[in-house]
Amino acid sequence: MHDQGPGRLAGRKLETTTKETTFVDYASSQPSAFAEMLGGLIAANVTARPEKKRDFDTLVARVGIWVTDIDEGVTLAFDAGKLTVYNGLEPGRTITIRAEAETVMSLSNLKIGLFGMPIYYDEVGRGVAAKLLRGKLKIEGLLPNVATLNRVTRIFSVQ
Amino acid sequence: MAVEAFSSDWAKQFKDEINKSSVYKAAGKGWKWTVGLVVEAEPDKNFPESRGIVMDLFDGEARDIKVGPASEAQQCDFVITAPYTRWKQVATKELDATKGMLQGKLKLKGDLPTIVRYTKASQEMTECTTRVPVAWPDGS
């Protein structure tokens, strides 16, 4: 419970992201910081939000994310309720997202609207759409996999 | 006038910069958690002991920022840890804090969805550190 009293510290009990989960594994015994961050983010989202858990439990896809300005990436292998996070891009990906770090963070801030569709008309959404149009956000495999991308976005979004 | 890096004077100026920022005020709306920055010692850079910066941030305002032992900062809801040189790189815009976290150059402890939700606020907070004129202990 936070307090608003003057001179007292802010603070609210938080779920930590370090707790063990049985549904997120790392392919490498030394996952990269980026792999741990995405794995941790998805684990926290799926644990806390039943609607994300439903998506997670049915999604089967291999999603690559490459961060162009740090030259690092991961492959997220979703397998109906299990996720394996690989360092780097693995073969056989359904979708590959390539963008700068800031854009990757924006993707996880997309709001989800009616019918589970990501919202592209608010400030964050417009920013993401503009980057897509300008080629600063590239999504390989987008056209045949729009539904998969939407599901991944829902699992990934912290909003 | 330049202040000693990660000193009480630096903390005061950093707090003032945050509270002057309309961007932070908007982006930090709803934030209710403490943030600890741990600056790890690097004796060869004339920074012999680790320090902790405890930031009491609330709803777009910095209520208090104080410098103390690293152990105090480690008790905060969110803790970001890096050696002195990395923090200097962040404060001099040589290293983007978001990229630093993704690369593991800055180590983050705390609830990831919450911190990701406030990416813009943390970016602006980093901007605020760059506005404080600093005298670095390693002289450069």
Task: Inform me whether the C-beta atom of residue A117 falls under 8 Å from chain B C-beta atoms.
Answer: no
Cα gap B66→B13, rounded to integer Å: 11
Segment 72-101 of chain A within 8 Å of chain B by CB: 72, 101
pLDDT bin (cut points 50, 70, 90) of residue A111 is: confident
| Average pLDDT, integer, range A140-144 | 92
CB B93 within 8 A of CB B127: no
Cα gap A78→A81, rounded to integer Å: 7
CB A65 within 8 A of CB A97: yes
Prediction ipTM score: 0.84
pLDDT bin (cut points 50, 70, 90) of residue A101 is: very high
pLDDT bin (cut points 50, 70, 90) of residue A113 is: confident
| Average pLDDT, integer, range B46-69 | 97
Q: What's this model's pTM, rounded to 2 decimal places?
A: 0.86
Does the beta-carbon distance from B116 to A7 stay under 8 Å?
Answer: no
Q: Under 8 Å CB-to-CB from B96, ≥6 apart: which residues? A: A101, B90, B126
Q: Is the pLDDT of residue A41 over 50?
A: yes
Does the beta-carbon distance from B110 to A11 stay under 8 Å?
Answer: no
| Average pLDDT, integer, range A11-24 | 61
Residue A18, pLDDT score: 45
Residue A14, pLDDT score: 52
Q: Is the pLDDT of residue A149 over 80?
A: yes
Cα gap B83→B37, rounded to integer Å: 10
pLDDT bin (cut points 50, 70, 90) of residue A13 is: low
Q: Which two tokens stand for residue B106?
A: 């800055």
